[in-house]
Structure 1
Amino acid sequence: MKILPPALAFLAVFLSVPAWAQPACHPATYAAPDGDFVVLVPSPAVAAPALRYQFRDGRRGATSDPAAPLRCGAASIDVQGQAWKPIAFRETPATFASVGSRLNGVLIEPPGDDPQRPLVVMVHGSERSSPIGGLYGYAMAAQGISVFVYDKRGTGASEGEYTQNFELLASDAAAALDKARSMLPGRTGRAGFFGGSQGGWVAPRAATLTPADFVAVGFGLVASPIEEDREQMVSEVRAAGLGKDAEALVGRLSEATAALLLSNFTEGYDALDAVRREMAGLAWTARIEGEHSGVIARMSNDELRRVGRARFDNLELIWDYDAVAALRKLDAPLLWVLAGEDREAPIETTRGALLGLASEGKTVDVYLFPDTDHGMFEYTTAADGSRRATRITDGYLKLLGDWIKGRTGGTYGRAERLSPR
């Protein structure tokens, strides 16, 4: 029988202890002496009692994972032999009125009373889940920023009907910033918005409805929802190795479905039928999705007339929203962070529009993280082309925090700062 050294024997015993017998992890944000941090929160994606963890450098997973780089204790966590202590945030529940509805939010403040501490309102995307108690708010607060998170209308504890109307959502976001400011008399400096994904349409518009000192956007679009649909299909045919004829065909499909959407499904059927005839016999067209066009093309005209609007146009989306015009009205400095291989929000049109605005003299900082998908996720690719997210790319969270604080400098992982030519 082989005898292990004492240290290895202890480690073997420790690793053999069932997860339920080890100290339970407590939801909190834990900080290292050098300012690094990790957020631990409950998550529907993680089986209780385990928690989701998120490090500043983008590593994420479940505390129950055998390879998790942390161990939980009663009053701290252990990360590579170092004790990380919980940050004592001040969290204040709040409600505020906006366009006839009462919305629910929480203000998160880092310890201490810094009269110049920045404030950011988190404008979330199209999801229906509550951001309160989620990773992003605490990840920003851990970097010395006051954070206001709120349930968008019709979700969480907020009143109203769920909607994707950018104008209404922008009014809500503006009201959220006004509320957060009123809760921080003498305890805030610059104040503004961060919007992810759909929040990239909402946050800049909100900053034209109430005074804002900055707007930051991650993996959003400077394009309309109709343009998003077309770009997704173009991205699909390129990924499949198809040529320019295929790109032109999905462009015509997008034009036809746009006519349906903009006319409340009363016009555009002749154009759609013409595209369907072109698609007939082309095997690859059965795999085209886009945001909506692939499904529309595979439905009958009778079905589209009967239930098309109820299925595709029931959330008051502004299909031809002019995102460039909205940004031209924006006076506040703008940060826009692009995911280089974003399949959900392809970046080609957005990148060109942002650099065009910068060349016109708008204060726009554009960063691109290569090899990342929507959400700034790095990923692995399966044989069938599907992707599995592995982590948020290193440098993204730190870039957001530094830019909001007005202190950008150095490198942020593999980020590339883009400039007009």
Structure 2
Amino acid sequence: MLGALCAAPASAASPGRGPVPAPPGLKATEVSFKGSGGLTLHGTVLARPEKGAPRPGVVLVTGSGSGVPRDHLLTEAVEFARRGLAVLIYDKRSEGYTDFHRDYSVLAGDALGGLRALRAQPGVDPGKVGMWGLSEGGWVVPLAASRSPEVAFAIVVGGNAMPPIRQQNWNEVSDLRRVGVSGSLIDRGKPALARFAGDAGLFAEAYFDAQDVLERVRQPLLGVWGGYDLQTPPGDNPPLFAKALRKGGNTHYTFRFFPDADHAAHRTPDGGITRGPELAPGYADLVGTWVHDVTSGKLPEADTAAPPHQEHASTEVPPLPWWESLWVHLGAAVLFLVAFTAYPLVALARRLRGRRVRPATRWARLLAGAGFVAAFGPFFYLFYLVAGSQPDPGPVLGGRPLPWLILQALAVATVVAAIGTAVEWRRAAAAVARTERVRLGLLVAAGVVFVPWAVHWGVLMP
């Protein structure tokens, strides 16, 4: 999850970004324009140099990342320009875009600023300029189109008609499935962390309502997905796009699928893990032909093919209800921290002071030790899995990573120890001092709260 998000903010014109030399057979024109909040953005327009009738244009909107340079989409820009389009690529903003904060409305405003700049270019027909968006851009471009009739068409590649939190959870779960993981780690633990991050504000735009936006898109839309898309569910999304567009009364869409392509419709030599430098065969031709057709009045009518095979379906990841909210989690975490550490720390303090220490029961010792690890371990292990670009769950036994199996064993031990501690606490209630009863009672209370906590995080589930 967080591993898929990108860098901290910097200036809008970071070093290393700048003009793109004109590729062979094309003309490159440098432009500057105002994005959201008056931020100045810089880009390059690529087009064939010959004179003639004004040509259609397209603004390319990149995927996630802070300050992504314009040449990130140079391959697409060159191929589209060679097919008769004027293509704008621009340096993505880094101001106001971080790991934990981004605003698709702001990014849509940036894209609309680019659209206005491209519409003003000599040789471009201002009534035939649209947008193309990759991945995150697949949320941004429909939003921009829904806000402005100046957008003549919309193209999304590896796009999502689902909330980002659902897409990201599918992405991360799919990575784990590919290394043999199954069971509660991916069924309960991963969604729990995603929902916690969304509730805590650590997942930017987690519940962005893509369906509502698509219902307001009136322009013709081209959707492109690769059969080896490992980041976006290529089978789930096309029907969701169609449903939302049709609900809004828009049937002018085309969906196409490239079986040997990755998330960005590039060729991939290894099933989507590595992105090749070349576009999928026929993809650039499709874009060029489709744009020329729709800007000439030849609108598609619900033109789609069968989606590619998707091995595992994505699942909805709803917001946390109040009883599982951030504040309830924090309250439970404080209880665990106090209860599971107070028992041994109080005993240690008494020994250091030379005071007589009542012998600790084996159940209380087990509850304090196992409970602490079982309560906080799942969160940190799950966070570790999403912090890197590729998950390394450790040795997998029967579909369960070894660290997860250890946490599950500790969770069971915690429940058993809580029952044993409760029995001893009840038996010794009249025989021990009040402070000792409080200490044991706190342990028992933490053990009781631990049960729904462990079910929520999946360590008490198979």
Q: TM-score, normalised on structure 2?
A: 0.53
CA distance, structure 1, for counterparts of residue 117 and residue 21 of structure 2:
27
CA distance, structure 2, for counterparts of residue 102 and residue 144 of structure 1:
28
Matched, 1:125 2:63: yes
- Which amino acid is 1:259 matched to? R
| CA deviation string 1:116-159 (max 9, x = no partner) | 410111111114331148222222211111112211212xxxxx
- Which amino acid is 2:186 matched to? V
Equivalent of 2:262, from 357, 360, 373?
A: 373
Where does structure 1 lack aligned partners over 5 or more consecutive residues? Answer: 1-25, 30-85, 155-159, 266-308, 409-415
CA distance, structure 2, for counterparts of residue 231 and residue 344 of structure 1:
8
Cα-Cα RMSD: 3.0
Partner SS for 2:261 = coil
Partner residue in 2 for 1:134: 74
CA gap of 1:102–1:240, structure 2 versus 1, over 3 A, is same
CA gap of 1:134–1:406, structure 2 versus 1, over 3 A, is same
CA gap of 1:114–1:261, structure 2 versus 1, over 3 A, is farther
Match runs of 1:305-316 below 5 Å: 309=202, 313=203
Paired residues, what number? 272
| CA deviation string 1:361-402 (max 9, x = no partner) | 522211111132222233334xxx983344432111211121
How far the C-alpha of 1:406 sits from its partner, in A, is 1.6
Equivalent of 2:229, from 338, 342, 360?
A: 342
CA distance, structure 2, for counterparts of residue 88 and residue 351 of structure 1:
34
Partner SS for 1:393 = coil
127-136 vs 324-333, which moves further: 127-136
CA distance, structure 1, for counterparts of residue 233 and residue 125 of structure 2:
39
CA gap of 1:259–1:240, structure 2 versus 1, over 3 A, is closer
Indicate conservation of the 8 Å contact 1:368/1:417, yes or no. no
Matched, 1:215 2:150: no
Matched, 1:166 2:104: yes
Matched, 1:322 2:185: no
Match runs of 1:293-312 below 5 Å: 309=202
Indicate conservation of the 8 Å contact 2:68/2:93, yes or no. no
CA gap of 1:407–1:204, structure 2 versus 1, over 3 A, is closer
CA gap of 1:380–1:115, structure 2 versus 1, over 3 A, is closer
Matched, 1:89 2:27: yes
Indicate conservation of the 8 Å contact 2:229/2:272, yes or no. no
Matched, 1:263 2:178: no
CA distance, structure 2, for counterparts of residue 90 and residue 237 of structure 1:
43
Indicate conservation of the 8 Å contact 1:355/1:419, yes or no. no
| CA deviation string 1:195-247 (max 9, x = no partner) | 1111101111011222211001111222212101221244345545666xx3x
How far the C-alpha of 1:88 sits from its partner, in A, is 4.4
Matched, 1:152 2:92: yes
How far the C-alpha of 1:95 sits from its partner, in A, is 3.2
Where does structure 2 lack aligned partners over 5 or more consecutive residues? Answer: 1-19, 296-302, 308-462
CA distance, structure 1, for counterparts of residue 188 and residue 234 of structure 2:
20
Partner residue in 2 for 1:178: 116
Indicate conservation of the 8 Å contact 2:129/2:152, yes or no. yes
Indicate conservation of the 8 Å contact 2:108/2:143, yes or no. yes
Richer in strand (by share): 1
| CA deviation string 1:334-385 (max 9, x = no partner) | 000011121111223312202324655522211111132222233334xxx9
Partner residue in 1 for 2:371: none
- Which amino acid is 1:318 matched to? E
CA distance, structure 2, for counterparts of residue 185 and residue 98 of structure 1:
26
CA gap of 1:350–1:139, structure 2 versus 1, over 3 A, is same
CA distance, structure 1, for counterparts of residue 22 and residue 123 of structure 2:
26
Match runs of 1:15-414 below 5 Å: 28-29=22-23, 86-127=24-65, 128-132=67-71, 134-154=74-94, 160-163=95-98, 164-184=102-122, 187-211=125-149, 212-236=151-175, 238-240=177-179, 246=183, 250-264=186-200, 309=202, 313=203, 317-357=204-244, 360=247, 361-362=249-250, 363-381=252-270, 387-390=273-276, 391-406=278-293
CA distance, structure 2, for counterparts of residue 353 and residue 188 of structure 1:
31
CA gap of 1:347–1:359, structure 2 versus 1, over 3 A, is same
- Which amino acid is 1:204 matched to? P
CA gap of 1:90–1:113, structure 2 versus 1, over 3 A, is farther
- Which amino acid is 2:305 matched to? L
Partner SS for 1:118 = strand
Partner SS for 1:380 = coil
- Which amino acid is 1:370 matched to? P
Indicate conservation of the 8 Å contact 2:161/2:211, yes or no. yes
CA gap of 1:178–1:93, structure 2 versus 1, over 3 A, is closer
| CA deviation string 1:53-108 (max 9, x = no partner) | xxxxxxxxxxxxxxxxxxxxxxxxxxxxxxxxx31415143233431311112223
CA distance, structure 1, for counterparts of residue 237 and residue 279 of structure 2:
21
Q: TM-score, normalised on structure 1?
A: 0.58
Partner SS for 1:231 = helix
CA gap of 1:213–1:200, structure 2 versus 1, over 3 A, is same
How far the C-alpha of 1:326 sits from its partner, in A, is 0.8
Partner SS for 2:70 = coil
Indicate conservation of the 8 Å contact 2:57/2:128, yes or no. yes
How far the C-alpha of 1:261 sits from its partner, in A, is 2.0
Partner residue in 2 for 1:23: none
